[in-house]
Amino acid sequence: MKLTRFGIWTSYTAIGADHAAEAARLVQELGYGTFWLGGSPEPEALAPLLGATETLVAATGITNIWKSDPAAVAAQQAALEAGHPGRSLIGVGAGHPEATSDYTRPRHATIDFLDALEAAPTPVAADRRVLAALGPRMLDLAAERSLGAHPYFTGVEHTRFARERLGDGPLLAPELACVVETDAERGRETARAYAARYLTLSNYTSNLLRFGFTEADLADGGSNRLIDAVIPHGSAAEIAAVVHAHLDAGADHVCVQPLGAHDVPRDQWTALARALEL
């Protein structure tokens, strides 16, 4: 499975499900290796992306363990593998305690979900799944039971920590939301609008506090320091520099999520591809 060093992260909510094939073809043509589909999708949602391309890997970022049946996930993954061998990856995660009343003992629930994936009539192999992981115990689980980790809403320091915790070998593929906008005020405005939801979710805020941010940084939409570290804004070249900082800190693959555009963000994806020299 060739993820390459760079991928695009988006959702059908952002681009429109009707634009799936167009978006996938563009991502492949620009030279990105992987299309990460957010919004807690089932694996079958990757089919239009794979069907429209020849080499692109498509990944869920993430399939939610509280909302999805593991046997159904395994069957859908098997169908994708049969039609598009070696090109689908299932991101698995526990989501947020604020999002479901069933949220209890997320690590144990994730282990149970992984066990069920392996016990299904069409098992999902460890190298066909990654785990959403922020804290040390979930990173350990990602290294033990999957291809690796897919952190979300994190900065470079978390990537450095995650690599140290995972050790050599396991995949580390952080998501990086960004704003291709050289006006700092407009860039931060877009970034804060995106960050607003995540700054109400305890798994993300607890993780930020572990990495040197304070309650003051979390307040009032996020301090400039926090926003700039987690959701960089600037020219495509400036954002590419942050992408490379994640790679230098130990990431194998960075999932870039440009914000602020409607439908398929052709201009932003293209500008970043050129800046990354794809």
Q: Domains plus CATH for the chain?
A: 6-275 (3.20.20.30)
pLDDT of residue 100: 67
Beta strand 148-149 pairing with 171-172: parallel
Q: List pLDDT tens digits, range 242-254.
A: 999 999 999 999 9
* Average pLDDT, rounded, for the chain: 96
Q: What is the pLDDT of residue 256?
A: 98
Instruction: Return the pLDDT at 99.
Output: 64
* Residue labelled with tokens 């978006």: 23
Percent of the chain having pLDDT more than 70?
A: 97
Six-digit token string for 225:
């320091």
Q: Determine the pLDDT at residue 218.
A: 97
Q: Model confidence at 1, in pLDDT bands (50, 70, 90)? A: confident
Contact 126, 213 (CB under 8 A): no
For 6-27, write each residue's pLDDT tens digit: 999 999 999 999 999 999 999 9
Kindly state the average pLDDT of the residues 24-37: 98
278 band by pLDDT with thresholds 50, 70 and 90: very high
Continuous H helices in 146-200: 156-166, 184-198
